[in-house]
Structure 1
Amino acid sequence: MTSPFFASIAVTAFAVAFLHAALPTHWLPFVLVGRAQKWSTGRTLGVTLLAGIGHVGLTIALGLALVLAGMALQPSLGGLFHWIVGGLMIAVGVFYMVRGRHNHALPEASRRIYASDRAAIAALVTLLTLSPCEAFLPYYLAGMEHGWVAFLVLSAILTAATAAGMLIFTGLSLAGFKRLGLQWVERYEETILGVALVLVGLAVAFLKT
């Protein structure tokens, strides 16, 4: 659990989750809707955090399902398991790099005027909850051999990085900053995530933990 290898997985996982949360689609809708609904800064940040909890919750649930499936398959795969996990991470990483830039248009929820705050909150929370951080999921498999403590650590990392990214950029935008010069994140996010996944996948495949 305290090995340098797992530490590198944890650090990379935090970077991936934070970068994903820094995308404008994860915070700008809250700023726009909050201003349209005339919410206070505190309320806007509270709704952002609530949506982030839903976003993280679904990601953790999917990660749990992935780990349980991996645990069921590991006994029959034996020494091949770390090669399969590493290969899977590399394949996902290559897919991200090939796919390159995709549409980061803001969700429809951020462009509407709502009759009630409850409807606005429900729309924002639902949209973000139903779009989990899929780039983080392979990290659960990478840390699986370290047991359930690793799963809890990675889930805590996902929660902290997502909350930090969403709240920081929402707060900065509310304080008067515009789009914070994050166009490069929108353009290169998938390439960066893909490279990170490939590097961790190579480590999982070729380095015994």
Structure 2
Amino acid sequence: MNSTFFASIAATGFAVAFLHAALPTHWLPFVLVGRAQKWSTGRTLGVTLLAGLGHVALTIALGLALVLAGLALQPALGGLFHLIVGALMVAVGGYYVFRGRHNHTLPDAGRRTYASDRAAIVALVTLLTLSPCEAFLPYYLAGMEHGWQAFVLLSGVLMAATAAGMLIFTSLSLAGFKRLGLHWVERYEETILGGALILVGLAVAFLKT
């Protein structure tokens, strides 16, 4: 893979992570809890960012484990490795497309009231931290042949896209935008993510240079 192709992987990964962060489950609970706890806009956004960092940290940790496993297997697989990675991405993408739409109901943490701000913050951060962006994980394998620099760059892409998505939609909702017209994201998220994974998987498998 050349640097131009890696840039396309990073760009697609940014779009996937941003779309994932646009889901109401990634920002609406913070808006509702913030209002219930009478938080300022700054504090609500701060808690949102803190939870987003936990979300990203777990995803990066899982991506690291995946890359280490890939590095262990690569010598034995040789030239077949990129084909296997591409096939894996296509398979994961196909699963997303097949599963289609799943239920993005508002998490319990967004409906509850809390006796203290600390309890609210812990609940929100835990909720999102334990829900990694699994759709981004195959991108770590796709960029693995570029070494650890690619891993760091992809982690930066994930962090930037997630933070941007969560903070933007939280801010807009706090400003009074009604549901932001994001029903289509809830409905078609998995189909879009699956399609992106399939396209990148095919490119990884057959466009390696």
Taking structure 2 as the reference length, the TM-score comes to: 0.99
Q: Quick check: 1:203 aligned with 2:167?
A: no
- Give the C-alpha shift of residue 208 in structure 1: 1.2
* Residue matched to 1:83: 83
Aligned-partner SS, 1:180:
helix
- Give the C-alpha shift of residue 207 in structure 1: 1.0
The 5-angstrom pairing of residues 14-53 of structure 1 reads 14-53=14-53
Aligned-partner SS, 2:181:
coil
* Residue matched to 1:166: 166
- Give the C-alpha shift of residue 31 in structure 1: 0.1
Distance 1:127 1:185 in 2: 20
Distance 2:113 2:85 in 1: 45
* Residue matched to 1:138: 138
* Residue matched to 1:189: 189
Cα root mean square deviation, aligned: 0.8
- Give the C-alpha shift of residue 140 in structure 1: 0.0
Q: Quick check: 1:122 aligned with 2:116?
A: no
Once the two structures are superposed, what CA deviation does each residue of 1:133-179 show, in whole Å capped at 9, x if it has no partner? 00000000000000000000000000000000000000000011111
Aligned-partner SS, 1:152:
helix
Distance 1:20 1:178 in 2: 19
Distance 1:137 1:106 in 2: 24
- In structure 2, what residue type is equivalent to 1:188? Y
- In structure 2, what residue type is equivalent to 1:31? V
Distance 1:172 1:23 in 2: 13
The 5-angstrom pairing of residues 67-82 of structure 1 reads 67-82=67-82
- In structure 2, what residue type is equivalent to 1:121? I
Distance 2:102 2:2 in 1: 37
Distance 2:2 2:86 in 1: 20
- In structure 1, what residue type is equivalent to 2:152? L
* Residue matched to 1:153: 153
- In structure 2, what residue type is equivalent to 1:118? R
- In structure 1, what residue type is equivalent to 2:181? G
Aligned-partner SS, 1:161:
helix
Distance 2:91 2:208 in 1: 20
Aligned-partner SS, 2:45:
helix
Distance 2:2 2:28 in 1: 37
* Residue matched to 1:99: 99
Distance 1:208 1:15 in 2: 22
- In structure 2, what residue type is equivalent to 1:193? L
Distance 1:120 1:41 in 2: 15
* Residue matched to 1:13: 13
- In structure 2, what residue type is equivalent to 1:170? T
- In structure 2, what residue type is equivalent to 1:108? D
Q: Which runs of 5+ in 2 are unaligned?
A: none
Indicate the percent of aligned positions where both proteins have the same amino acid: 86
Distance 2:38 2:208 in 1: 54
Taking structure 1 as the reference length, the TM-score comes to: 0.99
- Give the C-alpha shift of residue 4 in structure 1: 1.2
- Give the C-alpha shift of residue 2 in structure 1: 6.4
Aligned-partner SS, 1:194:
helix
Q: Which runs of 4+ in 1 moved over 2 A?
A: none
